[in-house]
Amino acid sequence: MKKLRWQLLIIFLTGIVVGVLLLSEQPIDLPTVELKPTEKGSYTEALIGSVQRLNPVLDFYNPVDRDVNRLLYSRLLQFDARGNPIPDLAESWGISEDGTVYNFLLREDAKWHDGQPVTADDILFTVEMLRQGEGVVPEDLRTFWQAVEVTGQGRDVQFLLPEPFAPFLDYLTFGVLPHHLLGEKQFDELRDDAFNLQPVGSGPYRLQRWIVEGEQIQGVVLEASTNYYGAQPEIETIVFRYYPDSASALQAYREGLVQGISEITLDVLPDAMREPDLSLYTGRRPEISLVLFNLKDPKAGFLQKVEMRRALYMAINRQALINDVLDGQALLANGVVFPGTWAYYDGVPEVNYDPEKALSLIKQAGYVLAQEGDTVRRKGDEELSLTMIYPDTPIHRALAERIADDWRRLGVGVTLEALPYDQLVSDRLAPRAYQVALVDLNLARSPDPDPYPFWDQVQAQTGQNYSQWDNRTASEYLEQARVTVNRSERERLYRNFQIVFADELPALPLFYPVYTYGVSNKVYNVRMGPLFDNSDRLATILQWSLVKPQVQKTP
């Protein structure tokens, strides 16, 4: 179980390959239905992308499907912005003292959109589809569920783990499928079943109709489900329209076709900010951009010295990176656990931009400019130079160049090498064939921090501890936190880990990117906090309203 974690580095190759496979399959023919220009109680949002299948076990590589599925399907659990589990289909749950048995009781009033009750059979069937989903469900997740025994009857569901695994609740946020409609099907049949475009869920909204122009699906219309067990939404109808990019979505907003834009990307952010009636909401993405060091590389032995790593950290003007390269769309990172979550320790000292102090540390370590005109410092026969690899994208290139310039001002020789992200991971990080790397760590759909896969000793040789950080104390904290059920004890263990990480700096956390969402100011009660998935921007949609709240007058 300790090697099973599917929220990993952003490896674009996997997502792109599977996405292309899904896109290559033709959707089921649908009748053309025209949408009325206006409807009472209707909110319309532009989604960036195209529909594939409205099925939660098939949406791992299509975020726009996950956006719609968020409203169609219920899950056993949800998570709040701090990463705390909250009930959804599960009315309550309990965990055995040894952390291997998880018992859940389903809500008695949970029903599918067709009126049938939600039962344990639905949970068991959905897990079986996750096990079978070769090529569509991430392989790590498939393997994970194959190791977990799931039983249940009526409203009772039990998960039996082969060993304690405290982050297990993270894995229970999958959308649940209806066994009574799909239970006779195998996964291969499910992939192209009509259900995927005629979904039946148990969420707050149900499918009303598709918007089809010519032979192309242009949007989908959802209506509030009268069978939903929770509070009824304030907005009766949600319309999603599909657009190829943020620019076309913004133009649709200007033309009055939509009231919201699912993502405001950097290329259109300045234009969006000039729209007087468009409110922009930002939330931290579940990502960390950082500089990884290969602590075992013999040609850059100075990276093994913590004072040199600290000097390199102090030399990076991270706020300038955010302001100049990312247009301010990121937050300074002070560690590898997200701030504001239950596991975050805010007592870790910040490392501020201080090039003078950085230079002092380098000089104290004995590195000097040996001769007049030298630009690279030396210590005896050792040259203070390194090669940094980075993903071959315009933004990563700009970031890498700014970091290299900051280091060169200290007398560090820096060579930059751009690589496609898949090659960067498979050809350089995995075999530990690098010195320094600029990477993005993606913890999407992972409210539990679980830093184990990236920083534990066990992962240093063949796992994802690409820095090969070999710290026994930090590893013990991570290993204990993975098998400890008690939340207070886990908080203590993660606090201690963060302190050790800050002291050792096996990598340099740079920033947390933010997600920007646009909604008309005629839509009220919109709130967006930190995100664990892009669809989390819709977490409060049941409270959104098209009616301006009344201001209470003080007598």
Is residue 197 within 8 Å of residue 210, measured between CB atoms? yes
Q: Which two tokens stand for residue 6?
A: 């599917």
Q: Which domains does the chain have, with CATH numbers?
A: 50-243 (3.40.190.10), 287-513 (3.10.105.10)
Give the β-pairing of 42-48 and 260-261: parallel
Q: Which two tokens stand for residue 421?
A: 């992200």
Summarised one tens digit per residue, pLDDT across range 304-360 is: 999 999 999 999 999 999 999 999 999 999 999 999 999 999 999 999 999 999 999
Q: What does the DSSP 8-state code read for residue 226? A: T
Strands (DSSP E) contained in 77-180 are 77-79, 85-87, 90-95, 101-106, 149-153, 156-160
Q: List phi, psi (to 5°) of 47.
A: -100, 140
Q: Which two tokens stand for residue 83?
A: 């990463």
Half-sphere exposure of 207 (CA within 13 A, CB side): 19
Distance (Å, rounded) from C-alpha 384 to C-alpha 378? 6
pLDDT at residue number 23: 37
* Helical axes 487-504 vs 472-483, angle rounded to 10°: 160
Q: Is 24 exposed, middle or buried (0-12, 13-18, 19+ CB in 10 A)?
A: exposed
| Helices vs strands, H then E, count in the chain | 16, 20
pLDDT at residue number 552: 61
Distance (Å, rounded) from C-alpha 75 to C-alpha 298? 49
Is residue 448 within 8 Å of residue 170, measured between CB atoms? yes
pLDDT at residue number 9: 42
pLDDT at residue number 106: 98
Low-confidence ranges of the chain (pLDDT < 50): 1-40
Can you tell me which residue has the tokens 């005896």?
A: 380
Q: Which two tokens stand for residue 368?
A: 């000097």
Distance (Å, rounded) from C-alpha 477 to C-alpha 251? 51
Neighbours of 270 (CB within 10 A): 9
Is residue 168 within 8 Å of residue 102, measured between CB atoms? yes
* CB-based burial, 188-218: b 16+ in 10 Å, e otherwise: eebbebebbbebbbbbbbbbbbbbbeeeebb
pLDDT at residue number 12: 35
- Terminal-residue alpha carbon distance, the chain: 61
pLDDT at residue number 28: 41
pLDDT at residue number 549: 85
Distance (Å, rounded) from C-alpha 281 to C-alpha 296? 43
pLDDT at residue number 531: 97
Give the β-pairing of 436-442 and 287-293: antiparallel
Spatial neighbors of 446 by CB under 8 A, at least 6 apart, are 7, 167, 170, 286, 532
